[in-house]
Structure 1
Amino acid sequence: MTGTHVSFSADDYRVRMERAAREAHAAGLAGLLIAPGPDLVWLTGYAPPAATERLTLLVLTPDREPVLVVPALEAPDAAEAAGASALALRDWTDGKDPYATTAELLPGSGRFGISDNAWALHLLALQGALPDSSYASLTEVLPMLRAVKDAAELELMTAAGAAADAAFEQIRQVAFGGRRETEVAADLAALLRRFGHEQVDFTIVASGPNGANPHHEAGDRVIERGDMVVLDFGGLKDGYGSDTSRTVHVGEPTDEERRVHDLVRTAQQAGYDAVRPGAACQDVDRAARAVIADAGHGDRFIHRTGHGIGVTTHEPPYMIEGEERPLVPGMCFSVEPGVYLPGRFGVRIEDIVTVTQDGARRLNNTTREMVVVD
């Protein structure tokens, strides 16, 4: 199963760049400076070599067409990007000053939004070229830029979720007992790739007491009969993210383990039920957290209820207390409450959901009931 690949056209990228420029202007910014990374891929379809230290920067300002500043030796590849027809390329050669080239495209003063992952080297040099300018991270000034997915993006997100589900359906058939966490994690990674993921970002396999650490790295612990095992895995398929968690048990669980698992399942359902247009992000967190707190385990739910997902596996919006931003149809994010009992076990259940016109839709659809494995 590989899902349906949806390619984006030059018009799709043009619309995204135009919207980004409008939103920047509305936020009082003089422009946007987009460095290599997920923002540049989302806006243009162009992914330059990851290892290069040479300046590449998309310049978006409200009063001119988009310009991509690019090293001359990378210009041919940049010109082939899907969004290139909506871009003017300004190349620079080694030995020339790319920051002076960039400064010519910008007003001499003002506040600019810049990609979170821009190199400090480049930001400091731009400040030197434009001493009256100031900068703010894109997450600070335009946190919702990529948050609302269009129909084609939702199709890709749905396919990524289905691929992760297929990986879970297969991993639950393999032997857990007597094998190391790293061995099961390798199986999960192979399954994600088999079902179409080009990139595997994480394969958490946390057995027994390791399950009480939400971000445990799979290690050499041998999984034993009687262990609860938290599985959390995902990556990118056709450029869009998957992320799901299920907690399985090796052999029959105890009554307490079943109660804790059922509690988390009920909390996850409560969080999902709170998803609807106009609700605040924090409402999702509150709904899931209240179930766990009412059962006496509030201090053992030690992370936010969810995070956005798209061309990266963690991005805004965040389902957390204090985030009053309203949910909008097309947003995609996780709902993943957990209970973690130090020295004993942990339980987490996670689905990616998308906001619809009248509620929500899950992108992960494997069972949330307790699964017993060998």
Structure 2
Amino acid sequence: MVKIMVSAGEVSGDMHAAAVLKKVKQKNDSVQIFGMGSTALKEMGAEILIDPTEISTIGYIEALKNIRQHFKHLKQMKKILRQRQPDLVFLVDYSAFNMKMAEACSQEGIKAVNYFPPSAWVYNKRRASKMAAYGTHIAAVFPMERDVYQAAGAEVTFVGHPLVDLVEVEKSEAEIKRELNLKPEQLVVSLFPGSRRGEIESLLPEMLQAAQKIKREKPELKFLLSAAEGIKVDYLKSFTEKFDFELKIIQKRNYQLMKISEFIISASGTTTLEASILNTPQIIAYQAALTTYLLAKYIFKVEFVGLPNIIVGQEVVPELLQNDFKAERIAELALNWLDHPEELNQIKEKLQTVRQKLGGGGAVEKTADLLLREGGLKNSG
């Protein structure tokens, strides 16, 4: 029996890994899959030996809080690698951890494919050189990722970003508004404060203050608040009930909210990429631990934090970082857009470039085929 070992350490990585490996199983059902991951991988039939998702974090300093547990998981994974000798190791996101796993694979003479590899295109290009030295095959999802890893000498296959296939809205704006009891002509702005409580607690109060300021100037405007997966409505109400304007909390309709919104105000992250694919303008918010921010800004010299801006290489949508993320500044930008819709149209034109640079679709299938080839596995599909 052919064996693929998987290493995914966060909820998003678990989902991306599961989508690819499910496709692998469809193409060759003799494959045995085991390793580190969480719910999505378990549901698709993988044998999950370690679930690290409860200790996943954002930022360098934040990760140190769970460093001992991370090292424990790494030791366990290296032991599993030696004992079970897989035909291929599939590394998904979880950069610092999976760089160590890539090194271990190299030492054991086992091939590895890295999907969502370390963001060497943002900072610390030496990481690309290390992955190249380990012989890890890079499944690149971004064009700048492909370029940096190829320049470092790594074997690279550009598969594109899986969100291109996933982000779509079949219903019309009129249908969505009707279902949400909104008038067809009503202008909508949606708030996306993130999927982690830390993000929400640092971003949502300022977003709500901004919304209240905007609402005073534009009383006809409707604000909607997206509840991320796993975030309870009552928890969000503990923030919204402190404000005296009407605001609907909406669950499980992220893409629909993006489609009907004039623009969104969003935490930095995957949401900004999803909105870009749907051609929705956005104001990007980012707040991290001060040490994390200073490292990124002054040591690694990160120019942008928003994925749309990174992909295009220029500021397509505004970023309000750290202390610049204030209600007054959010309201100023938003009111200017509402008064000058031609500026929103210019942003929409630029956002089309983001989608074009993410590939023509089929990322999951392309990555599954890459795993089959690299693992010497026959495609029976």
Say yes or no: TM over 0.5: no
Higher helix share: 2
TM-score by structure 2 length?
Answer: 0.28
TM-score by structure 1 length?
Answer: 0.28
Q: Which structure has the bigger radius of gyration?
A: 1
Higher strand share: 1
Q: Which has the higher contact order (CA 8 A, sep 6+)?
A: 2
